[in-house]
A and B are shown apart, each in its own frame.
Chain A
Amino acid sequence: MTLPLRVLYCHCTYANVVPKAVKEEVLRQLAESGIPFDAVPDLCELSARKDPSLPDLISSDEPLKIVACYPRAVKWLFSAANTPLPADGVAILNMRTDTAEAIMAQLRGEMETSTSEEESE
């Protein structure tokens, strides 16, 4: 079985706007979950320097879940780096407003739903 989605986590390293407890707990749970994932130090920095890894980070055949901050901010950060997010198949989870448990529940729920859909096909 292949996981039905890809996860990109942003650690928001260079500011204290994402609650430390939330980002650290999400990272800990992801690390211990057995899920493969990509993690970046700071999407803002990657956007500002139009980092060459940005297109790779969002090129995905599976639905992509970006765990970062406000969806409007993340959408336009990618756009500013000439790497607009695909119109479909991307969901942004917000660590500034949601708890770590809520974020992990969304990721796990999504995986279970997609896996059971895959199995029933």
Chain B
Amino acid sequence: MSALPLPTVAAPPTAGAFRVVLFEGTGAEPMPNALRSELLTGLLKSGYATSVVRAGGNVSPMQSGTLVVLGRFTEAQPDTLDAQPDAQGGPVTVHFRTVADQTAAELLAQVETLREATQLPKPGTWKPWFPVIDYDRCTNCMQCLSFCLFDVYGVDSEKRIQVQNQNKCKTDCPACSRVCPEVAILFPKYRHGPINGDVVSDDDVRRESMKVDISSLLGGDIYQALRDRSAKFKSRFSKERDSDKALLERQKCLTKLGEQLDIPAEVFASLPSLDEIKAKAEAAQAKAEAMLAGQSR
């Protein structure tokens, strides 16, 4: 049994990495194109990082974690190997699975079983939608922190704005990027530039600052506008008999506001109560002001 030239393993140790290797280097036959393609696509769609190892080049190393190596090996391989390849390397568990006449789906199921055994969470259960800050543009003005009601933003130990709770961000809502006067907030999965990471032009900066102006015209800030409008409609609704009509009107109002900032309707549906909005907006504002005061000191 000969040792296979697998990705090199280096320090320092970390935990939890899980990777599949389609092994086609020395010691294995290449897979048929159709099987390799189907397997690779299936693995990526199921959320598994995959390295295709071949002679004549390198893939990334593995510091620690679990490797599942699939290949048409020319010699028998052990089922499982616990590797500690150099003095600094962390533990890597390598599982070998021989590709014979299984289908891509069967091989994928084997990988899934091994992932479950590691007790790592199933990948792909959450759409990765969250803001990313371009610090080449950000001026640390804290507008995003005072705007977001869902505690996505915070500050680091140096009082620099930071995205701290990515998973609290509302899927498909890019609203905070619209309040950033510097066009410094990206949503890589957004449809349009420059919010998706496309180059920022002078026109973009002008357009984005106009949007901020629009929201301030609505009454100071967007939540203030929302509160005012809801309060106005609430009093009107109380006089109305037809609650369906009232609801319709309210939805129309929110839709209009949402369209201005490209906020999905579901975000409005998940907004806290008006009192909670008020409290949260005030708390966020106070936090931002405290940070800004700390900075200027």
A8 at the interface (CB under 8 A from B): yes
Closest chain B residue to A56 by CB distance?
B60
For chain A, the count of residues having a C-beta within 8 Å of the partner chain is 53
In contact, B167 and A69 (Cβ under 8 angstroms): no
Q: Contact: B196 with A53, CB < 8 Å?
A: no
B50's nearest neighbour on chain A, judged by CB, is A39
Contact A34 B189 (CB under 8 A): no
Interface pair A1/B16, CB less than 8 Å apart: no
Within the assembled complex, what's the spacing in Å between the Cα atoms of A33 and B36? 12
Q: Does A13 contact B (CB under 8 A)?
A: yes
A53 touching B49, Cβ below 8 Å: yes
CA–CA, A34 and B25, complex, Å: 10
Number of A-B contacts (CB under 8 A): 171
Q: Beyond A27-B41, A38-B51, A79-B135, is A74–B60 a contact (Cβ under 8 Å)?
A: no
CA distance A74 to B163 in the complex (A): 16
Q: Does chain A have a CB within 8 A of B258?
A: no
Q: Is chain B's binding surface mostly helix, strand, loop or mixed?
A: loop
User: Which chain B residues border A11 with CB–CB below 8 Å?
Assistant: 44-45
Q: Given A6-B58, A42-B128, A48-B128, A72–B186 Cβ distance below 8 Å?
A: yes
Chain B, 41-93, CB within 8 A of any chain A CB:
41, 44-54, 56-65
Cross-chain contact B65 with A53 (CB below 8 angstroms): yes
**Does B260 touch A at the CB level, under 8 Å?**
no
Measured between C-beta atoms, what is the minimum distance from B93 to chain A in Å? 14
B15 at the A interface (CB under 8 A): yes
Report which of B17, B51, B124, B127 forms a contact with A39, defined as CB distance below 8 A: B51
A52 and B15 form a contact (CB under 8 A): yes
Interface string of B4-40 (1 = CB under 8 A from A): 0000001000111101000001000000010011001
Residues of B within 8 A of A31 (CB): 33, 36-37, 40, 52
Q: Establish whether residues B61 and A56, one from each chain, have CB atoms under 8 Å apart when the complex forms.
A: yes
Q: A35-B57, A56-B63, A80-B132 are in contact. Are A41 and B123 (CB under 8 A)?
A: yes
Q: How many angstroms between the C-alpha atoms of A73 and B199 in the bound complex?
A: 10
Contacts A36-B53, A39-B51, A42-B128 aside, 13 further interface pairs with beta carbons under 8 A come to A3-B58, A6-B59, A15-B127, A27-B37, A35-B54, A39-B50, A41-B124, A45-B123, A48-B167, A53-B19, A76-B135, A76-B197, A80-B133
Q: Can you list 27 A-B pairs with a CB-CB distance of less than 8 A?
A: A6-B60, A11-B44, A13-B124, A14-B127, A17-B191, A27-B44, A31-B33, A32-B33, A34-B56, A35-B54, A36-B56, A38-B60, A41-B45, A41-B124, A48-B166, A52-B17, A52-B65, A53-B17, A53-B19, A53-B62, A55-B63, A56-B60, A59-B60, A61-B58, A70-B196, A76-B135, A96-B196
Which B residues have a C-beta under 8 Å from some C-beta of A? 10, 14-17, 19, 25, 33, 36-37, 40-41, 44-54, 56-65, 123-124, 126-130, 132-135, 163, 166-167, 186, 188-191, 193, 196-199
Residues of A within 8 A of B (CB): 1-3, 6, 8, 11-15, 17, 24, 27-28, 30-32, 34-42, 44-48, 51-53, 55-62, 69-74, 76-77, 79-80, 96
